[in-house]
Structure 1
Amino acid sequence: MEAPTLHAFAAMALTVVVFYLFVRGKMSIEIVSLLAIAIIAVGLYFYPMPHTQPTDGLQLAFAGFGHYALITICALMVMGRGLVVTGALEPAARMLERVFKFNLQTGLLLSLVLAFVLSMGVNNTPVLVLLIPIFVTLAARGAMPASKTLMPLNASSLLGGLATTIGTSTNILVVAIAVDLGMPRMGVFHFTPIVLMASLVALPYIWLVMPRMLRDNTPEIGHGNRWFHTRLRVPPSSNLIGKHFDEVVDMLPDDFRFEERPDGPFASGQRLRISGTHDALEDAVRVLEGQIAPGWVVDQIQRQSASKRQDMKVVEMVITSDSRLIERTLATSGIADRFGVAVLGIHRPDRPLMFDQEQSTGDLRFAEGDVLLVMGLSEALSEFIQSDSLLQLEGEREVPRRAKAWLAATIMGVSVGMASLGILPIAIASLGGAILMFLTGCVKFDRVGRALSGQVIVLVAASIAIGRFVLDSGAAGWLGETLSLGLQYLPPAGVIAAVMIFVTVLTNFASNATAATVGTPIAFSIATELGLPQEPLVLAVLFGCNLCYATPIAYQTNMLIMAEGSYNFPDYMRTGVPLVLIMVVTLSYLLAMTYGM
């Protein structure tokens, strides 16, 4: 057998070095990715591959930035952002939240089964796009941390996508290549029983073991446990009117409470002291259809938001020793009149709250160190902070544009549906959905940076460049030929396992498209030379292409969860390698048994 060419050897060496730097974690992913792109560009410019020009190397190195896979991932991120900022997924999140409150493990198992089943009939990428923002919202509402749920969800959706020929785009590619090589076309559920049996072994690991292997990557936020006091106003439209306290108390979140309760049923115009965390106050107001700020102030802010096309924001700010607000009450401070902002609540750290009993409204008197929860537009909030000597804290958040929730959900549903039914490619459907999100105002142009992750973008571009280099240099073909030399000494199940492991390594370090393109013809020829059935070896390639759990660059859904779960390379290796081994052993045995090998 001939030795690999210099370019093939360089491609393999670069892949190993980049992988080592990713796992070591001493350099940021962005730096390693850009270095890999630079090495490919400079190396192929001065030492081009045979029958190519120096500029061809530059095109190969930088093609990832314009690749359809990267465009698809960015568009999906934008659509996911639209669902979050409009609050479109809150009903689904609240439904799952009730299950998680009943039992965390039951909620996670239900979610994994849901992702698995949906991915069998729908391409698993849009399935995960729908689930990611739901579970990020759930984590913010006190369920399991996103870093402990997104990785298992991704694994379950990949497992479900493995079960049918339409579950992933890679499955379709492998089946198409096999048909071109002379094999009969496989039906949608041709190999589903094999995958279902393997899933009975893999799902317990995904459900019970994988979350325990992942860290809680939730960022420490100092304002998360602040308990704000405010007043609940009962407007004429509230569903509280006519109900008794005991009828509504079970509807409210755990971190919310009434500081005073009415003697009889709730009535229009009542004002009751309440308290809770920021999220709990939002939930309670939505459920009770009440108000925690004067209605005229909120209406004024909403009108200004619509006319200026600016998002409303909620900010936490501290009263300093120089503030004029000290010893004043909310009623006497004139905050709403002067600045056009609404104070939603007051948090007083480590000191008892002092109510002014002379005021009929019972307002709190402000003191140094109090934290105010304030809603308004950016300019008004800035003017309030500067004029009254306040200090803004971290944790600024935008008020969901719930008026556009159904619009955002419809855009996402149509985009996912068209991609799932094969009417449009996922790249076109997602790009069209992202454009509609912009045009309808569900996502603002100046907020795109919050939807996209620079780390993911550079990593995707680098992985595409490395995959192209591995394929075009002949490194992938040389590895396949080397593998075939030793397979004649293995039993049939060992041959299947070896092919699957080879394709799995290729898909985790190059790309699943590369693995499918290289692995399918190799498996076909190995079966012919060894006198084995062709179908189980082709299925070994198909299964191996989908065992992309061990690195973030292996599949686009791995990239999508990376930023949301704050994962790093070792997280994928630690949880993915055991799952790959479980699936390789189980699937190899089942294939050998099914085909009588």
Structure 2
Amino acid sequence: MSIPSFHAMAAMAITIAMFVGFVRGKLSIEIVSLLTIAVIAVGLYFFPIGDAAPTDGLALAFSGFGHYALITICALMVMGRGLVVTGALEPAARFLERVFKINLQLGLLVSLLIAFILSMGVNNTPVLVLLMPIFVVLAARGAMPASKTLMPLNSASLLGGMATTIGTSTNILVVSIAVDLGMPRMGVFHFTPIVLLASLVALPYLWLVMPRLLGDNRVEREDSVRRFETRLRIGEDSELIGKNASEILPLLPEDIRFEDEPLGHVTQQQRLRVSGTHQGIEDAMRTLKGEIAPTWVMDRIRRQSDETSQDIVVMEMTVTADSRLISRSLSTTGIADRYGVAILGIHRPTRVMGKADQYDAAGDLLMAEGDVLLVMGLPNDLQDFAHKDSLLILDGARELPRRSKAPLAGGIMLGSVLLASFGFLPIAISALAGAILMFLTGCVKFDRVGRALSGQVIVLVAASIAIGRIILESGAAAWLGELLSLGLHFLPPAAILAAIMLFVTVLTNFASNATAATVGTPIAFSIAQQLGLPPEPMILAVLFGCNLSYATPIAYQTNMLIMSEGGYEFNDYVRTGVPLVILMITTLSILLVLAYGM
């Protein structure tokens, strides 16, 4: 066997160095990724591969920034942002939230099964794109943190995508290469039973073990969320009219409580004095079909938002010693008339001993210095209100969902997913079309794109594409395949399958699954002929290995999609993914030997 070329050795060295840089964590992922791209660009400029021109090396190093995979990921992020800002996923989130309320572990199991089953018939990328924002919303509502759910959810979608020939584009690629090599084409469910049996081992790991290996990466903890006191008006069409407090309370969010429990049955337009978090109060409004500010004020704010194309914003403001609001209640301030904003609630910090809260004749809380107001309105009106009434704006302003566009955003996402799932359009084209429609229809605004995209993910994708190309074009992948075949003659069939699967898994986690499929399939076919083994299980070992992309964020585009939302670091993928890879390689190798009588 010949020694690898200079370029092949350099490609392997760069790959190892990048991996070490990610794992050590002394430099940020962005810096390691950009350094990797820079080393490839400079190296290929002065030492081109073969007869290539120096500028060809630059094109290879920077090709990731214009690659369809990166464009696809960015477009999917934009569409995911559209679903969140329009509130399109709230019905699904509330359903799963009810399941999580029954039991957190049950909720996670149901979610994993949904992701697994959907990914068997639909490309797993759009499946994760649909589910990921729901779990971000659920985490904000107090369910399991996104960092503990997104990684298992992604792994379940990858596991489901492995089960059919149409589950991932990589499966289709491997099957197509195998047909070109002379093998009969595999049906859609040709190897599904093997994967289903393996999933009986993998899913318990995803459900019970993986979340325990992941930390809680939420920035804001539940104990730091402020509680606001407000008056909740019962709507005219509320189903709760005629019920008493004991019947209403179980239907409200867990963090809502009555400050003055209503006596007797609730009547139309009755004002209930409640307290809760901002999210809890919003959920209570939907349940009671009521408002927490006069209807005419809310309608005016929404109308002005539509006319000016501005987002409605909710801010927290502190009452200072100079504010005219001190010793006034919400009903006596005249804020709505003067500024066109609505105060949704008041947070009362812990008071000095002996200083009691004061209320007016109607039972409304009188504002005092240090109170935090939850105020809703358009940005300019909120700034005007804060300036003229001596209020201090706190961090944490957020835009309210543009719910009027929720059906439109959901339709755009669903259309893009269906077009890609049934093969009418490539995922890159359908995702781009969906992102453009999100912009044109106002579901996502151009000046908000930066919030949807992650710079970390962008440079990481670009670096991974450059690494994949140089490993393939330098001959490093082919040399590794030759090295693998030398030691297989003396191994039992299960070990041979495991070795091939492990080789392809390493390629797919450090280069790309397309590279692993392109290089691994002909190598496996050749090894089967040399050793006199049936080629089909060897090809399936390659197919399965290409899907075991759990151990690094650069292995698959969905790994990168969850990275920013889950707050993951490179070590999180290694810590949770390596045990899963070992578990799957062992299980699948044994099942292939049993299934094919080897």
Q: Same fold (TM over 0.5)?
A: yes
Amino acid at match of 1:166: I
Q: Is the partner of 2:174 in helix, strand or coil? A: helix
Report the equivalent of 2:127: 127
Describe the superposition over 1:80-117 as per-residue Cα deviations: whole angstroms up to 9, x where unpaired.
11111111111111111111111111111111111111
Deviations 1:508-550 (A, max 9, x none): 0000000000000111111111111111111110000000000
Question: Under a length normalisation based on structure 2, what TM-score does the superposition of the two structures give?
Answer: 0.97
Residue 487 of structure 2 aligns to a residue whose secondary structure is helix
Question: Aligned residue for 1:86?
Answer: 86
Match of 2:407, SS state, is: helix
Please tell me the residue identity of whatever aligns with 2:187: G
Determine if contact 1:256/1:280 at 8 Å carries over to the other structure: yes
Give structure 1 stretches of 5+ with no counterpart. none
* CA–CA distance in structure 2, aligned partners of residues 34 and 387 of structure 1: 48
8 Å CA contact retained: 1:549, 1:577: yes
Other structure's SS at 1:409 match: helix
Q: Is the 8 A contact 1:221 1:395 kept in 2?
A: no
Instruction: State the alpha-carbon separation in 2 of the partners of residues 186 and 341 from structure 1.
Output: 63
The aligned amino acid for 1:591 is L
Aligned equivalents of 1:528 and 1:521: distance in 2? Answer: 11
Q: Root-mean-square deviation (CA), in Å?
A: 1.4
Please give the per-residue CA displacement for 1:230-251, whole angstroms capped at 9, x wherever unaligned.
1112343444433333332221
Residue range with higher mean Cα deviation, 328-337 or 540-549: 328-337
1:67 aligns with 67
Q: Which amino acid aligns with 1:408?
A: A
Does the 8 Å CA contact 2:360/2:366 hold for their aligned counterparts? no
The Cα shift of 1:266 comes to 2.4
Contact 2:513 2:555 in 1 (8 A): yes
Pair 1:434-2:453 in alignment: no
Inter-partner Cα distance in structure 2 for 1:539 and 1:586: 13
Q: 2:408 is matched with which residue?
A: 407
Q: 2:394 & 2:13 partners in 1: Cα distance?
A: 48
Q: Matched residues in 2 for 1:11 and 1:388: separation? A: 63
TM-score (norm 1): 0.97
Post-superposition CA distance 1:28-66 (Å, at most 9, x none): 001111111111111111111111011111111111111
Task: Say if 1:224 and 1:277, in contact at 8 Å, map to a contact too.
Answer: no
Q: Which residue of 1 aligns with 2:95?
A: 95
Moved more, 545-554 or 374-383: 374-383
CA offsets 1:475-528 (integer angstroms, 9 cap, x no match): 111111111111112111111111100000000000000000000011111111
Q: Hey, what's the Cα distance between the residues in 2 that align with 1:239 and 1:494?
A: 64
1:444 Cα deviation after fit: 1.0
In the alignment, which of 346, 353, 358 is matched to residue 355 of structure 1?
358
**Identity over aligned pairs, percent:** 72
Give 2:380's aligned amino acid: E
Q: Could you say what secondary structure the match of 2:488 adopts?
A: helix
Q: Secondary structure at 1:328's aligned position in 2?
A: coil
Q: Secondary structure at the match of 2:591?
A: helix
SS at match of 2:65: helix
Aligned to 1:196: 196
Structure 2, unpaired ranges of 5+: none
Deviates more, 1:261-270 or 1:531-540: 261-270
C-alpha separation between the residues in 1 aligned to 2:254 and 2:274? 13
- In the alignment of these two chains, the number of paired residues is 595
CA distance in 1, matches of 2:334, 2:360: 19
Note the alpha carbon deviations across 1:305-326, whole angstroms, 9 max, x for none: 1111011011111112232322
Instruction: Tell me the residue number matched to 1:342.
Output: 342
Alpha-carbon distance in 2 for matches of 1:471, 1:214:
33
State the match for 2:476 in structure 1: 475
2:514 matched to which residue of 1?
Answer: 513
1:272 counterpart residue number: 272
Does structure 1 conserve the Cα–Cα contact (< 8 Å) formed by 2:553 and 2:560? yes
Mapped partners of 1:592, 1:261: distance in 2: 67
The corresponding residue for 1:328 is 328
Query: 1:15: which partner in 2?
Result: 15
Tell me, yes or no, if the aligned pair for 2:142 and 2:222 is still in contact at 8 Å: no
Aligned pairs for 1:528-547 within 5 A? 528-547=529-548
| Distance in structure 2 (CA, Å) of the matches to 1:223 and 1:308 | 37
What is the correspondence of 1:79-228 to structure 2 with a 5 Å cutoff? 79-220=79-220, 224-228=224-228
In structure 2, the partner of 1:293 is 293
Structure 1 distance, partners of 2:472, 2:282, is 53
Q: Displacement, 1:334?
A: 2.5
Q: Report the alpha carbon displacement of residue 224 of structure 1 after superposing the two structures with TM.
A: 4.4
Distance 2:289 2:597 in 1: 65
How do 1:545-564 and structure 2 match up within 5 A? 545-564=546-565
Q: 1:223 offset after TM fit, Å? A: 8.4
Aligned equivalents of 1:576, 1:550: Cα separation in 2? 4
Name the counterpart of 2:589: 588
State the SS of the aligned residue for 1:275.
strand
| 1:229-244 pair list within 5 angstroms | 229-244=229-244
